[in-house]
């Protein structure tokens, strides 16, 4: 089956995200979520329905099929991970990280995705907690130079 377009990915992801906090899903909510008008949503939902990703009772509620849900989760997962990487590793602000993730999620390769995920894990599982080098990077990014070296004594004995 052909890949979804960026736009269709947005729609299916929106439905998924809305479903996380909302019992029922309506055309209007999707429109609001994505900042588009309702006819655009109807159009998109029609296409997603044809592909068996969404079920839509006319004039009624929407839901994702299993396949649709799976796909939506994949897209959203990329979003979350790119967001986390930009925000937590690179230190990009929340709002910009969100925007960037929104766009990049449609384009980034599996391989790069994998590396970002591993990078986050690498940071999160650092034996000494939040790693020194990342602190130093944040300092560097902010001040344009490394922090003054702290000639700390060896911990080993």
Partner DNA sequence: GTATATAGTTAGATTAATCTAACATTTTTA
Partner DNA sequence: TAAAAATGTTAGATTAATCTAACTATATAC
Q: Which residues in this chain contact DNA in the complex, by CB under 7 A?
A: 5-8, 10, 26-28, 35-40, 42-47, 56, 58-60
- For residue 50, the minimal CB distance to its own copies (Å) is 27
Please check whether residue 63 is in contact with residue 19, taking contact to mean a CB–CB distance below 8 angstroms: yes
49: how many CB neighbours lie within 10 A of its CB? 15
d(CA 80, CA 92): 14
d(CA 52, CA 68): 7
Binding residues among 75-114 for its own copies as defined by CB under 8 A: 86, 90-93, 96-97, 99-100, 103-104, 107-109, 111-112
d(CA 147, CA 11): 45
Residue 156 interacts, among DNA, its own copies, none and using kind-specific CB cut-offs from 5 to 8 Å, with its own copies
Q: Is 3 in the site for its own copies (CB under 8 A)?
A: no
DSSP class of residue 54? E
Structure tokens at 148: 């003054």
Q: Interface residues with its own copies (CB under 8 A)?
A: 86, 90-93, 96-97, 99-100, 103-104, 107-109, 111-112, 115-116, 118-119, 121-122, 125, 127, 131, 133, 136-137, 140-141, 146, 151-154, 156
């Amino acid at each position: 089956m052909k890949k979804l377009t960026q736009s269709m990915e947005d729609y299916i992801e929106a439905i998924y995200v809305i479903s996380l906090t909302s019992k029922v899903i309506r055309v209007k909510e999707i429109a609001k979520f994505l900042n588009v008008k309702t006819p655009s949503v109807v159009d998109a939902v029609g296409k997603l329905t044809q592909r068996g990703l969404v079920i839509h009772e006319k004039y009624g509620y929407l839901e994702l099929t299993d396949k649709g849900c799976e796909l939506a989760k994949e897209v959203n997962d990329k979003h979350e991970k790119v967001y986390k990487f930009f925000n937590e590793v690179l230190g990009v602000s929340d709002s910009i990280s969100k925007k960037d993730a929104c766009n990049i999620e449609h384009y980034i390769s599996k391989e790069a995705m994998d590396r970002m995920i591993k990078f986050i894990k690498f940071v999160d599982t650092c034996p000494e907690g939040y790693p020194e080098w990342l602190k130093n990077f944040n300092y560097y990014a902010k001040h344009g130079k490394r922090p003054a070296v702290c000639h700390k004594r060896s911990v080993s004995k």
